[in-house]
Amino acid sequence: MANADTLAHVPGPRPKPLIGHTLDLLIDSYRLHGNAAKRFGPIYKVKVLGKWRVALNGADALEFILGDRDDLFSSAGGWDMLDVLFGGGLMLRDFGDHRAHRRIMQSAFRKPVMDAYRDSMATALDSLITDWPAETDFAFFPAIKTATLQMGGAVFMGLSIHDHRVPELNQAFQAEVAASLGIIRKPLPYTKIRRGMMARRYLSETFRQLIPERRKTGGDDFFSQMCLATDDDGNVWTDEEIVDHFNFLLMAAHDTTAATLTKMIWAMTTYPDWQDRMVAEVDALGDAPLDDAALDALDVTDRVFRESLRLLPPVPFIPRLAVRDFSYGGMDFPAGTSVSAMPGMVLVSPDHWTDPEVFDPDRFSPNRAEDQSHRYAWAPFGGGAHKCIGLHFATMQVKVFMALLLRRYRVERADDGPVKWQRVPIPFPKGGLPVRLIPR
């Protein structure tokens, strides 16, 4: 591991005793990095979760780290804090091994299965939205988390949204996610990490029991597809690998999408003109089924989605571990250096975006195309070998949800104060974002 001595030549803000910059990161990660970049330039070091990490700012640095032409940066080493709970997942594998596993997983994202996910997603979400109360205030963020978890039971596991196992599975899943970035990493009694590890054992056992039947009978849900997944050479996963991949995939899919939908609802209620434009394009679909053609026509929704991800990317910093010595920006770094790629900072950089703090989805329109200023100007889904494999799945889910919601309701905010966002570990609005649904 690189340490203060081997990184002595890298500037950076002075760390607090014991906790370094961890608390600053938890309180306001953008302020920590924004201030450090202003003072020290695009390359500096901070100490987070007990480790010195070198931040390389800028879109070129993103391309260098994530594009990783020379297999220099380990994702497993970067995300080591997730290993105890999500070990064996795609993001916790590297290089040749990662490529082999990703090829197998790709077959669970083939077009015909994606169509089946889309249809079962629409059925589940429609029924869940119907259950939401009209003209009554409720907090959107917890509601969408619960709804997408219930939908996940159907789309990911092939369970009915009312299956009696769903609440227990969801509880365990939430304990696992809460533990992933707990500050205390030893599984001492009463710690989040200990609860998370127990949850992982329970979930793994539940998934494992489903495998023999799903291998035999298949199904249109994600889990069944993973049980049947093969690459072009016919390689399949062992039971253990299926459990590990599925466990990780649920985590990767869930909070990211719930946070993004919440930011979109914030945008639609803060800028009702944009909601009007979304309603108009949903109305233009009539009662048509939400197939690919219908979802492709939701161009305004797509821009609001992209702009929401720009302002609140669920993964604003991407950690890697250098497996060999390397040089960047005129500095040398030893093998073992923890490196942070900074898509979140690039997404609000004036180098790529006009008035970056302003909510302006038209910046993605073909005549402005600010996202095209650099291959990595808009990279909320990462890039290179580990680029989000669920990008299309997430886009589909967001569009299906918005179309179903706006067919029935307009959304209003139940209070008018400014909304404060917590960015890490996964973004959420403090106060939950109280809203009201007004039947149309």
Q: Which residues bind ligand HEM (CB under 6 A)?
A: 75, 90-91, 102, 249, 252-253, 256-257, 260, 314-315, 318, 380-382, 386, 388-390, 393-394
Q: Which is nearer to ligand HEM, 65 or 279 (CB)?
A: 65
CB of 9 to ligand HEM, least distance (A): 27
Instruction: Sort residue 112 into left (φ over 0), alpha (ψ -120 to 50) or beta.
Output: alpha
Residue that is written with structure tokens 């404060």 in the block: 420
Q: Which is nearer to ligand HEM, 79 or 353 (CB)?
A: 79
Q: Which is nearer to ligand HEM, 102 or 185 (CB)?
A: 102
271 neighbors 339 (Cβ within 8 angstroms)? no
Nearest alpha-carbon partner for 364 in 437, 277, 304:
304
Q: Which is nearer to ligand HEM, 62 or 436 (CB)?
A: 62
Q: What value, to the nearest 5°, has the Cα angle with vertex 344 and ends 341 and 345?
A: 85
Q: Which is nearer to ligand HEM, 423 or 436 (CB)?
A: 423
Enumerate residues 6+ apart whose C-beta is below 8 A from 80: 321
CB of 243 to ligand HEM, least distance (A): 14
Give 386: exposed, middle or buried? Use CB within 10 Å, 0-12, 13-18, 19+. buried
CB of 196 to ligand HEM, least distance (A): 19
CA pair distance 180, 178, nearest whole angstrom: 6
Backbone φ and ψ of 429, nearest 5°: -85, 130
Q: Which is nearer to ligand HEM, 84 or 114 (CB)?
A: 114
Q: Which long-range contacts (CB under 8 A, 24 or more apart) does 233-236 make?
A: 235/100, 235/103, 235/104, 236/104
In which element (H, E) is residue 48 found?
A: strand 43-48
Beta-bridge mates of residue 366 = none
CB of 126 to ligand HEM, least distance (A): 19
Q: Which is nearer to ligand HEM, 389 or 405 (CB)?
A: 389
CB of 314 to ligand HEM, least distance (A): 4
Q: Which is nearer to ligand HEM, 47 or 399 (CB)?
A: 399
CB of 256 to ligand HEM, least distance (A): 3
345 neighbors 378 (Cβ within 8 angstroms)? no
CB of 103 to ligand HEM, least distance (A): 10
- Here the tokens at position 433 are 């974002």
410 neighbors 274 (Cβ within 8 angstroms)? no
Secondary structure in 3-state letters for 342-409: CHHHHCCCCCCCCCCCCCCHHHHCCCCCHHHHCCCCCCCCCCHHHCCCCHHHHHHHHHHHHHHHHHHE
Q: Which is nearer to ligand HEM, 195 or 278 (CB)?
A: 278
Q: Which is nearer to ligand HEM, 19 or 426 (CB)?
A: 426
CB of 66 to ligand HEM, least distance (A): 6
Q: Which is nearer to ligand HEM, 311 or 389 (CB)?
A: 389
Q: How far apart are the first and last CA of the chain?
A: 58
Neighbours of 15 (CB within 10 A): 17
CB of 94 to ligand HEM, least distance (A): 9
CB of 34 to ligand HEM, least distance (A): 20
CA pair distance 252, 102, nearest whole angstrom: 14
Helix (H, G, I), strand (E, B) or coil at 249: helix
Beta-bridge mates of residue 412 = 436
Q: What value, to the nearest 5°, has the Cα angle with vertex 91 and ends 86 and 92?
A: 60
Which residue's CB atom is positioned nearest to ligand HEM?
390
CB of 136 to ligand HEM, least distance (A): 28
